[in-house]
C-alpha cells in the first residue's frame, strides 16, 4: 500500500488537533497509510513544498492580513508543483480564484470536515495521478529509460543540431521523447477509458485533424477531417488548404435506436449493439463515446461540408475538444476507406450454387 503524504498549512492549534484526531481514526478505520506534515506559517510551508505531496489543505488566514495562504498557492503555481489543493478557511473571499483547486471549503460547513477532504484526496491518490504527475510514477521511470538508453547515447548528433538551432532542437527532442514514451504503451492490451479518446480542453486554440467544433447558436457539433498536412501553418500564418472539411456528429441515441429498429430479442440486440459500438455496423459511422464534458455521438462520413476560412470563422466556435492522436488515426483510416472503397459488377453465380448443392440422383 502506497503512503499518502498530506500537507496541512494551518496556524490554529484547535484545528490541527481536530485534523490529527481525524487522521488517527481515518487510518484505523480505512487501513490507509497517511503521513501528515504540519506547517503553522507561510515560511515553513515554502521551505518544504515539492512534488512529493499527494495533497495539501491550506488555510487562507495565517496571520493578521488574512490572505497569506495565497503565498503558498503562488509558490505551487510558480514552481510548477502538481499537488491537489483544498482551501479550508473561514475567509473564502481572500482566495485566489485563478488557481484550480479541488475545492474551497468553509470551516464548519457540511462536507468540509477533515474526513471529507481525506476521502476526496484518497480518491485522487488511488488513480495514481499524483504519483505520475509528481515524478514518482511510470512517466518518471520511463523518462529515465529514454534519457539513459536512447538520448544520451545519441548526444553527439543532438549537440550538432543544437549548435545550429537550439529552439528547434529542443522541440524535436520533446517530440522524440514523447514517441519513445508512446512506444512503451503501444500494444497495451488494456481497454481504454472514454476520456482517453479526447484532449479537453485542448492546450491550443488551433484547429487540427480531429478537432471537434460546435456551430454557433446551434447544438450541432462537427469534426474536422482535413489531412494533417493541409492544416500545417505556412510562413504567412495561413493553412496550406483554402477549405475546412467537416463531418457532422449525429446524436448517439438516434443512431442506436435506428440500428435496433425491429429487433426484439435481447441477445440479438446485444449482438447489434456490439457491432454499432465496435464500428462494424456501417462503413460511414464512427462512434465517439460520451464523457462528462462531451455528449458523444457518431461521426457520419456521409454528412460532409466544406467551408472557406472566413465561413468557418463566422459559423463555428473555437475547438473545445481534440481527438487524441491514437484515435484520430483510426477515424482518418476509416474515413479514407469509406471513400476509397471500390465495388464490382455482380457476377452470375446461381448456377455454381446449384452445382455445388444439388446431388446426382444415383449418389443416394
**Cis omega (within 30 of 0) for bond into 108:** no
* Residue 286 grid coordinates: 464512427
Task: Give the N- to C-terminal CA distance of the chain in Å, as an integer.
Answer: 73
Residue-wise pLDDT tens digits, 113-141? 999 999 999 999 888 888 877 777 777 78
Residue-wise pLDDT tens digits, 194-210? 999 999 988 888 899 99
- Closest CA relative to residue 315, chosen from 305, 323, 325: 305
Rounded distance, CA 364 to CA 360, Å? 8
**Looking at the DSSP assignment, which residues form a beta bridge with residue 286?**
299
Higher pLDDT, 288 or 99: 288
**Looking at the DSSP assignment, which residues form a beta bridge with residue 323?**
198
Contact by Cβ (8 Å): 79, 49: yes
Does 362 have pLDDT greater than 60? no
| 88-97, 145-154, 172-181, 327-336: which is most confident | 327-336
Residue-wise pLDDT tens digits, 64-99? 666 888 899 999 989 888 899 999 988 777 777 677
Higher pLDDT, 353 or 157: 157
Question: Number of C-alpha atoms within 13 angstroms, CB side, residue 56?
Answer: 27
Higher pLDDT, 31 or 303: 303
pLDDT score of 352:
78
For a pLDDT cut of 70, what percent of the chain falls above it? 94
pLDDT (average), residues 216-225: 94
Mapped to the 3 state alphabet, what secondary structure does the chain carry? CCCEEEEEECCCHHHHHHHHHHHHHHHHHHCCCEEEEEECCHHHHHHHCCCCCCEEEECCCCCCCCCCHHHHHHHHHHCCCCCCEEEEECCHHHCCCCCCCCEEEECCCCCCCHHHHHHHHHHHHHHCHHHHHCCCCHHHHHHHHHHHHHHHHHHHHHHHHHHHCHHHHHHHHHHHHHHHHHHHHCCCCCCCCHHHHEECCCCCCCCCCCEEEEECCCCCEEEECCCHHHHCECCCCCECCCEEEEEEEECHHHHHHHHHCCCCCHHHHHHHHHHHHCCCCCCCEEEECCCCCCCCEEEEEEEEEEEEHHHHHHHECCCCEEECHHHHHHHHHHHHHHHHCCCCCCCCCHHHHHHHHCCCHHHC
pLDDT score of 45:
94
Map grid coordinates 488548404 to a residue.
Answer: 241
Q: What Cα–Cα distance (Å) separates residue 302 from each residue in 247, 255, 298, 305? A: 8, 14, 11, 10
Residue-averaged pLDDT of the chain: 88
pTM of the model: 0.74
Provide the pLDDT confidence category of residue 63 given band limits of 50, 70 and 90.
confident
pLDDT score of 359:
62
- Closest CA relative to residue 204, chosen from 326, 80, 322: 322
pLDDT score of 258:
94
Provide the pLDDT confidence category of residue 326 given band limits of 50, 70 and 90.
confident
CB neighbours of 46 closer than 8 A, spacing ≥ 6? 71, 72, 75
pLDDT score of 188:
63
Contact by Cβ (8 Å): 254, 267: no
pLDDT score of 66:
67
pLDDT score of 344:
72
Provide the pLDDT confidence category of residue 358 given band limits of 50, 70 and 90.
low
pLDDT score of 301:
97
pLDDT score of 47:
94
Q: What Cα–Cα distance (Å) separates residue 248 from each residue in 46, 209, 225, 275? A: 51, 14, 10, 21
Provide the pLDDT confidence category of residue 19 given band limits of 50, 70 and 90.
very high
pLDDT score of 361:
60
Provide the pLDDT confidence category of residue 302 given band limits of 50, 70 and 90.
very high
pLDDT score of 61:
86
* Residue 319 grid coordinates: 475547438
Amino acid at each position: 500500500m502506497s503512503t499518502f503524504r498530506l500537507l496541512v498549512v494551518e496556524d490554529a492549534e484547535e484545528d490541527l488537533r481536530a485534523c490529527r484526531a481525524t487522521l488517527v481514526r481515518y487510518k484505523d478505520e480505512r487501513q490507509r497509510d497517511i503521513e501528515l506534515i504540519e506547517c503553522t506559517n507561510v515560511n515553513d510551508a515554502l521551505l518544504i513544498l515539492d512534488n512529493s505531496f499527494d495533497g495539501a489543505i491550506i488555510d487562507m488566514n495565517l496571520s493578521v492580513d488574512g490572505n497569506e495562504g495565497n503565498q503558498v498557492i503562488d509558490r505551487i503555481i510558480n514552481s510548477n508543483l502538481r499537488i491537489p489543493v483544498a482551501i479550508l478557511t473561514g475567509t473564502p473571499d481572500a482566495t485566489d480564484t485563478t488557481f484550480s483547486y479541488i475545492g474551497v471549503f468553509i470551516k464548519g460547513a457540511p462536507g468540509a470536515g477533515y474526513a471529507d477532504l481525506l476521502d476526496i484526496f484518497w480518491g485522487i491518490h488511488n488513480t495514481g495521478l499524483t504519483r505520475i504527475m509528481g515524478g514518482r510514477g511510470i512517466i518518471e521511470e520511463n523518462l529515465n529509460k529514454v534519457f539513459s538508453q536512447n538520448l544520451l547515447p545519441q548526444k553527439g548528433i543532438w549537440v550538432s543540431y543544437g549548435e545550429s538551432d537550439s529552439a528547434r532542437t529542443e522541440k524535436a527532442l520533446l517530440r522524440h521523447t514523447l514517441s519513445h514514451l508512446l512506444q512503451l504503451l503501444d500494444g497495451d492490451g488494456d481497454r481504454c477509458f472514454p476520456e482517453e479518446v479526447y484532449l479537453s480542453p485542448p492546450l491550443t486554440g488551433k484547429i487540427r485533424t480531429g478537432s471537434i467544433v460546435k456551430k454557433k447558436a446551434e447544438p450541432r457539433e462537427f469534426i474536422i477531417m482535413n489531412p494533417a498536412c493541409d492544416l500545417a501553418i505556412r510562413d504567412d500564418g495561413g493553412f496550406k488548404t483554402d477549405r475546412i472539411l467537416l463531418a457532422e456528429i449525429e446524436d448517439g441515441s438516434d443512431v442506436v435506436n435506428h440500428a435496433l429498429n425491429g429487433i426484439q430479442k435481447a441477445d440479438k440486440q446485444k449482438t447489434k449493439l456490439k457491432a454499432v459500438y465496435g464500428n462494424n455496423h456501417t462503413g460511414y459511422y464512427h462512434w465517439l463515446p460520451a464523457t462528462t464534458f462531451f455528449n458523444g455521438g457518431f461521426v457520419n462520413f456521409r454528412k460532409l461540408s466544406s467551408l472557406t476560412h472566413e465561413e468557418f470563422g463566422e459559423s463555428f466556435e473555437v475547438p473545445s475538444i481534440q481527438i487524441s492522436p491514437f484515435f484520430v488515426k483510426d477515424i482518418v483510416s476509416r474515413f479514407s476507406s469509406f471513400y476509397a472503397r471500390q465495388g464490382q459488377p455482380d457476377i452470375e453465380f446461381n448456377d455454381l450454387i446449384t452445382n455445388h448443392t444439388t446431388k446426382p440422383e444415383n449418389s443416394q
